Amino acid sequence: MIDLKLLRDDPDRVRASQRARGEDPALVDALLDADAARRAAISAADNLRAEQKSASKSVGKASPEERPALLARAKELADRVKTAESEQADAEQRFAAAHMAIGNVILDGVPPGGEDDFVVLETVGEPPAIENPKDHLELGEALGLLDMNRGAKVSGSRFYFLTGVGALLQLGIMQLAVRTATEHGFTLMIPPVLVRPEVMSGTGFLGAHSDEIYRLEADDMYLVGTSEVPLAGYHSDEIIDLSNGPVRYAGWSSCFRREAGSYGKDTRGIIRVHQFDKVEGFVYCKPEDAEAEHQRLLGLERQMLAAIEVPYRVIDVAAGDLGSSAARKFDCEAWVPTQGTYRELTSTSNCTTFQARRLATRYRDENGKPQIAATLNGTLATTRWLVAILENHQQPDGSVRVPEALVPYVGRSVLQP
């Protein structure tokens, strides 16, 4: 949730952020009104409690003649306190709902607009000249790397088996990501993939896109779509030590997405599936360090893409295509020959203090005073990378060259039909 001090001091900035996101700026005024009503209700209840306390003390000191009137007054005040506390609770509830309705305030320089309004920051590498390229599914099936038909038989559409060297190739990508992350000071984590509602909500995933999430109703638990969620919850309700710099984790987990609303889109192969593996970088830092950490995560993503030797571009995602938690997001999109376009392989978001404020994650400043931490996340590897590797490294005879960095994990330099 957004910083109330920013809201009160500079509501126009929050309104501008809402407009850039394509969201209703009137929600800002609704929150300001709810904030004022909440503070008024708290003040009214506090004053009445103080008056009731004073009246109760006066009863004990009163003469027999004065006591009946004072008792009646004390009873009246008790009833008024009860009413005021109920009104305060209602005001708090309305305020919380209004506060949760507003996405993170975007950072300066984020492009306004929607999905197609991104800005290309850099293009790296040249798309390969491949005559009549085969797509990743045709290649993967011919090479015995994946089995979509049996995945659908066992679990339904958009499920798959990675088989033989296909499984080794994915594990190789993940292990390369783990090695890269740990060499750069990240602590490896294998987190739970089921989380409580307060953790899922705290990370901002139960808003507009909550229909993307699998929920286990009997247990009131959610399957995560990224290890960002459990890693964000890891230090919830804690004061963490940032005196030695940012705290960095790399989470390796299976991820689950319902892909609601994407029927008929990317149904072929493993571009858009219900289950996949991912290594996710996650950082806790002081707010003033967040932009530098964002560039650091982007640098690690670029290092990984260089290792798998695919052409890619870096884009600055437009405000209307950001999740509610992100104040800025950079995507790295790899070239997909059969589609003749770039598709997202990595994403890194600066969530500033938005998630940590919801999850009550703080640190102590130089004066020992608790402050809200900042959080960031970034993809370091995921199953979808197989698409870019297979299609960009295919050979005319149907074989696929294995990127040199992955050969030690796969055990061969060429995948043969």
Is 67 part of the annotated catalytic residue set? no
The token pair at 35 is 């904030």
d(CA 276, CA 270) in angstroms, rounded, equals: 9
Q: Known binder of ligand: residue 122?
A: no
Active-site hit among 94, 253, 384, 391: 384
Q: Known binder of ligand: residue 391?
A: no
Active-site hit among 347, 349, 357, 391: 347
The token pair at 285 is 């830092």
Q: Known binder of ligand: residue 257?
A: yes
Q: Known binder of ligand: residue 276?
A: yes
Is 384 part of the annotated catalytic residue set? yes
> Side-chain half-sphere of 295: how many Cα atoms within 13 Å?
4
| CA dihedral of 132, 134, 135, 137, whole degrees rounded to 10 | 160
Q: Known binder of ligand: residue 13?
A: no
Is 347 part of the annotated catalytic residue set? yes
Q: How far apart are the first and last CA of the chain?
A: 52
List Cβ neighbours of 393 (8 Å cut-off, separation of 6 or more). 309, 400, 401, 402, 403
The token pair at 181 is 């992350």
Q: Known binder of ligand: residue 228?
A: yes
Q: Known binder of ligand: residue 333?
A: no
The answer to whether 143 and 394 have CB atoms below 8 angstroms apart is: no
Cβ neighbours of 120 (radius 10 Å):
11
Nearest of 354, 293, 342, 350 to residue 315 by alpha carbon? 342
The answer to whether 226 and 280 have CB atoms below 8 angstroms apart is: yes
Q: Known binder of ligand: residue 175?
A: no
Active-site hit among 94, 248, 257, 296: 257
Q: Known binder of ligand: residue 357?
A: no
Active-site hit among 51, 92, 198, 344: 344
Q: Known binder of ligand: residue 259?
A: yes
Cα angle 183, 187, 188 (rounded to 5 degrees) comes to 95
- SS3 state at 158: coil
Q: Known binder of ligand: residue 338?
A: no
**Residue 382 DSSP one-character state:** E
Residue 339: phi, psi to the nearest 5?
-100, -15
Q: Known binder of ligand: residue 258?
A: yes
Active-site hit among 49, 73, 196, 272: 272
Q: Known binder of ligand: residue 273?
A: yes
Q: Known binder of ligand: residue 187?
A: no
Q: Known binder of ligand: residue 274?
A: yes
| CA dihedral of 296, 381, 205, 122, whole degrees rounded to 10 | 50
Is 217 part of the annotated catalytic residue set? no
Active site residues: 257, 272, 344, 347, 384
Binding positions for L-serine: 226-228, 257, 280, 377, 379
| Residues in binding site | 226-228, 257-259, 273-276, 280, 344-347, 377, 379
The binding site for ATP consists of: 257-259, 273-276, 344-347
